[in-house]
Amino acid sequence: MLSFSQRTSSATILVFVVGVAQGAAPPSLPPQSVFIDPLSFAVLGQNATFRDSAFDSGFNPSSTPTPFFQILDAGFLDILGPEPSFHEIASNPDFGFANEAPVYVPDTDEIFFSGSPFPGNTNVSNQVNRVSMSEVEDALRASNGSAVNVTVTPINLPSTVLSTNGGTGPFRGSLLFVGDGLGARPPAVTLVNPRPPHNATVLLDNYFGRQFNSLNDVKIHPTSGKIFFSDVSYGFALNIRPAPLMPNQVYRFDPDTRVVQMVLDGLVRPNGIAFTQDGRMAYVSDSGSLQDLSGTTALQTQPATIYAFDIDPVTERFINRRVLAYIDAGVPDGLQVDTNGNIYAATGDGVQVWTPAGTLLGKFFVGMRTANMVFAGFGRLVLLSETRLFLARVNAGNVNLEGR
Ligand SMILES: *[C@@H]1O[C@H](CO)[C@@H](O)[C@H](O)[C@H]1NC(C)=O
Ligand SMILES: *[C@@H]1O[C@H](CO)[C@@H](O)[C@H](O)[C@H]1NC(C)=O
Ligand SMILES: *[C@@H]1O[C@H](CO)[C@@H](O)[C@H](O)[C@H]1NC(C)=O
Ligand SMILES: *[C@@H]1O[C@H](CO)[C@@H](O)[C@H](O)[C@H]1NC(C)=O
Ligand SMILES: *[C@@H]1O[C@H](CO)[C@@H](O)[C@H](O)[C@H]1NC(C)=O
């Protein structure tokens, strides 16, 4: 394990190191947090109840009401800061309105994201929604810290923007989306105007005349500006797409020349992608153990694993694959990297945060499948947990790619 002083140069944490032996309970905890010492559960005993399913609500030995910060390593305190908070900000018990493709637009202080697909229905695309973060701030101020339910506004998109499942940006002022495709209609990479009339431009919808399987997630390389997306057969698993006709792979796409190249194969179900700030490394989640989104046909012996790669500086192929982490709850889905290089993975119990050395620092624990997350500016992490949207106020953020 990495010591705290190796992990960070922060003066705050160095003070901490002096007073606390590694593994010991932190002297005081921030609000809404619990410290779960790995020593406390290393031996559960012969008569313990063990978790048979990776797709249950997760490992919450303190039975703390959700949402809360589950600290597993004192390094998580640096991310939380002294005054974190964690609240539900919107909910719809009847429908998974908050699923994927989160994008924060700083100009208007809004987030965009897509709702769940409609399995088996090739007539209806999922809905892209918008939430005003200023409205969230006002509502939370007025509620004095309890859950709020802000307005979730559906936005009307052209029929070329289908089954939106991945998003990033803003990219040159637009939302950059990738979609599953729907029925015979192809998966595509699209640009969408974040302002009305929300007009869209399709950048790519084929690989030399062949359809992709279902485009899942997308990120922009921080130095080259190339677009990288994953293609995985979840559209077929959801019965909204024909059987896959290509391997599940990750691609590099030049938005100017429109040249598309495959950069990574060999994962079972490549899913979320994130780059380090310097662009030298990437993380890719393999959600191989999740076959369809119900989790019921899950193949738990398949990967639920985040891999690290070097980016070849010339070809931008993903090389030198190694393991970062195996996820204990559900599968790793969307990924983000913060400005200190920590990796945030959306998982079956919320968002889990790992150091680059593979130490699990802690969890934004919501006890529900969370497909993705986005930093809505520094210090605000928004979690997309299907029927609920959460906001965690913390002391972390990621790189803003605006203007690229
Ligand atoms: C486990 O349960 C059995 C049956 O109730 C009991 O005999 C045994 O002492 C228990 N073992 C432990 C380690 O508690
Ligand atoms: C939040 O508001 C939406 C839209 O009005 C509504 O459908 C949903 O039931 C509300 N959530 C709760 C928990 O009342
Ligand atoms: C899709 O549309 C077709 C033609 O209108 C209709 O026959 C079919 O029942 C619809 N499918 C679903 C799942 O709604
Ligand atoms: C807000 O919540 C705090 C802590 O629960 C409580 O002490 C305070 O009285 C509340 N203020 C209002 C205006 O309800
Ligand atoms: C939307 O339309 C405006 C005006 O024609 C155009 O400048 C812009 O590029 C369009 N945006 C997208 C994403 O298609």
Give pLDDT tens digits for 224-263: 999 999 999 999 999 999 999 999 999 999 999 999 999 9
Question: For residue 18, what pLDDT is reported?
Answer: 29
Cβ atoms of 211 and 187 within 8 Å: the answer is: yes
CA 90 – ligand 2 centroid, Å: 7
CA–centroid distance for 305 within its chain: 14
State pTM to two decimals: 0.92
Cβ atoms of 33 and 69 within 8 Å: the answer is: yes
Render pLDDT for 148-167 as a digit per residue (tens, 0 to 9): 999 999 999 999 999 999 99
Cβ atoms of 391 and 375 within 8 Å: the answer is: no
Backbone CA torsion sign across 153, 114, 239, 58 = negative
Render pLDDT for 46-102 as a digit per residue (tens, 0 to 9): 999 999 999 988 999 999 999 999 999 999 999 999 999 999 999 999 999 999 999
The better pLDDT of the pair 403, 98 is held by 98
The Cα 111–Cα 320 span in angstroms is 35
**Which protein residue's CA is at the shortest distance from atom 6 of ligand 1?**
47
Q: Which long-range contacts (CB under 8 A, 24 or more apart) does 143-149 make?
A: 145/85, 145/87, 146/87, 147/87, 147/88, 147/89, 147/91, 148/87, 148/88, 148/89, 148/90, 149/88, 149/89, 149/90, 149/91
Confidence label for 128 from pLDDT (cuts 50, 70 and 90) = very high
Cβ atoms of 19 and 27 within 8 Å: the answer is: yes
Average pLDDT of span 394-404 = 72
The Cα 98–Cα 92 span in angstroms is 9
Q: For the chain, where do the domains classified as CATH 2.120.10.30 start and end? A: 89-393
What are the C-alpha distances in Å from 64 to residues 166, 292, 377?
Answer: 32, 29, 28
CATH architecture of 89-393: 6 Propeller (2.120)
Cβ atoms of 163 and 125 within 8 Å: the answer is: yes
Q: Which residues contact 208 (CB under 8 A, 6 or more apart)?
A: none
Question: Using alpha carbons only, how large is the chain's radius of gyration in Å?
Answer: 20
**Which is the closest atom of ligand 5 to the Cα of 175?**
13
CA 67 – ligand 4 centroid, Å: 19
Backbone CA torsion sign across 355, 360, 364, 366 = positive
Beta bridge partners of 49: none
Confidence label for 23 from pLDDT (cuts 50, 70 and 90) = low
CA 76 – ligand 4 centroid, Å: 27
User: Which of 121, 122, 123, 185 to mutate to test ligand 3, by most ligand atoms within 8 A of the CB atom?
Assistant: 123
Q: Is residue 176 in contact with ligand 5, taking CB distance under 6 Å?
A: no
**Which is the closest atom of ligand 4 to the Cα of 144?**
1
Give the Cβ contact number of residue 358 at 10 Å.
16
CA 191 – ligand 1 centroid, Å: 61
